[in-house]
Homo-oligomer: A and B are copies of this chain.
Amino acid sequence: MSASPIKSKMIRRLLEVGSADNIRKSLKKLHPADIAPLFSELPPSDRSRLIDILFSLKKVGKVLKEMPEYFLREILHEIDDQKLVTAMNNLQPDDALYLLEGIEEERQKELLQLLPHNTRNALEQLTLYPEDSAGSMMNVSVVALKESMTAQDAIDHIRANSERMGINYLFVVDDNQRLSGLLSLRDLLLAKQETLISDIMNLQVISCEPTLDREEVAQLFAQYNLLSMPVVDENHKLLGAITVDDVIDIIEEEATEDIYYMAGLSEADRAFSPLKESVRRRLPWTALNLATASLAAFVVGLFRDSIAEAVSLAVFMPVVAQMAGNVGIQTLTVITRSIALGEIEFSTAGKAISKEMGSGLIIGLLAGVVIGAISYLWMGNMYLGGVLAAAMVLTMVLAGTIGALIPLMLRSFGFDPALGSGVVVTSASDILSFVIYLGLGTLFLNQIGS
């Protein structure tokens, strides 16, 4: 069970009063994931003491890779090159790459020079693939068996390469290193010594190319309940493998990205990231919002004379805008999420859009009748009620359509379907609702009166 708050208190006390030896002992027993959060609570002097102790325990790399990106950048400044190189050298290449990406380019080059030839090569190979691609997250150090091996040969081969194997899946390749099957350790263990690998391997291998985006990698893991997925080149040659533990982080990050993008936030803007950082990252979104809000004000300004004549029109502006915005966001959410989970295809998009329009129409009709009745009872004017009801139906159908179209369009242009979509959908439905509602109101101005 996770008891990290208690453990964290204990370590902080030990750093204050304990001997180096006691601290070592406690840190040795702690999981790297429990040590990483400690750093955010320590003053810089204690941080460097902690780093020194972790270094002597060969745990620096493992702890660093558990830190969130914004915090990692800060900590990496406080670690000297030699320690960092040793730490990176002890990590799997994909994890070492995570540390490297938190470092400014100048220092990156220096560190790469200090790394042993092998590690540098492995790292540089990963950087050949696009960011967030399957290739950049794969583990290149996998065990490849031959179909002609017996179970005993395979076990001997694994023993000889025991440091290579990250997880409990083995890959079978032909003489040209082309992937031909998958073997679970479990099946290997259960097989008789003389059984041929070709007889127990699984031929139904789900694999991917190194350029596949990590979101689609995650979808494959979720869809096929994978624990490990081989990455192959265009000739089906085995390049490496992606493991499920990395995929869990990706699914969480992609979900955060979607939620954040819809709200107009940048990924690195976290609850505990520095205030200055958060403000800086929110400013562009704020500017965008201010621009669209001013546009909405401009639209309302066009109807100043109507409002001056019938102030009750202004009273119901928030209702139309809020209801339309809500339908837009609902639809946007349903569509964005179904894209993220891989449920929607180009061929089925039309069906989804027309459903959202239908839902907007039905809910708009119901809400329109209710709000029309409320306004009639309150203001005593049938025409205002009618204008409100009609505006509600029209704007809710349109908002539903926009909410479904925007993410699908962003997607088809190659953008993230969630990017800024919340801001765009809210402002578009706001502006449309003012045009329609105040426009209709102006048409019936004489009947609505003051």
Contacts and interface: CB of A to CB of B under 8 A. Distances in A.
23 contacts: A1-B207, A33-B224, A222-B248, A222-B249, A227-B244, A251-B255, A259-B262, A262-B333, A264-B330, A265-B333, A269-B334, A271-B343, A271-B344, A275-B358, A285-B326, A296-B319, A297-B315, A300-B315, A300-B317, A300-B318, A304-B311, A308-B308, A318-B434
Contact of A316 (B190, B292, B297, B426): B297
Interface stretch (A81-89, A97-105, A106-114, A347-355): A347-355
A355 B290 contact: no
Interface stretch (A16-24, A121-129, A365-373, A441-449): A365-373
Contacts of A311: 304, 307-308, 314
Interface in A145-172: 155, 158-159, 162, 165, 167-168
A38 interface: no
B359 A275 contact: yes
Interface in A171-194: 184-186, 188-190
Contact of A335 (B271, B289, B312, B336): B271
A256 B254 CA distance: 12
Interface in A241-272: 244-245, 247-249, 251-252, 255-256, 258-260, 262-265, 269-272
A422 interface: yes
A54 interface: no
Interface in A11-37: 29, 31, 33
A1 B321 contact: no
Contact of A245 (B225, B272, B332, B378): B225
Interface string A413-436: 000000000110011001000100
A140 interface: no
Max chain B CB contacts within 10 Å: which of A29, A226, A312? A312
Nearest to A450: B308
A409 interface: no
B158 A190 contact: yes
Interface residues on A, range: 35 or more
A383 interface: no
Given A189-B185, A296-B319, A221 B248 contact: yes
Interface string A218-234: 01111111110000000
A293 interface: yes
A323 interface: yes
A363 B162 CA distance: 55
Nearest to A226: B245
A301 B315 contact: yes
Query: 4 closest Cβ contacts across the A-B interface?
Result: A255-B255, A168-B168, A271-B338, A225-B245
Nearest to A253: B341
B29 A341 contact: no
A155 B206 CA distance: 29
Contact of A314 (B300, B333, B362): B300
Contact of A319 (B260, B293, B326, B426): B293
B158 A286 contact: no
Contact of A317 (B184, B255, B314): B314
Contacts of A296: 318-319, 322
A334 B294 CA distance: 26
B247 A248 contact: yes
A319 B292 CA distance: 9
Interface in A187-221: 188-190, 204, 206-209, 219-221
A49 interface: no
Nearest to A232: B1
B1 A333 contact: no
Nearest to A347: B5
Contact of A322 (B29, B184, B336, B430): B430
Contacts of A430: 318, 322
B322 A293 contact: yes
A280 to B, nearest CB: 10
Given A255-B255, A289-B326, 11 more contacts: A1-B208, A222-B248, A225-B245, A259-B262, A264-B329, A270-B334, A285-B330, A290-B323, A290-B370, A293-B371, A296-B319
A320 to B, nearest CB: 8
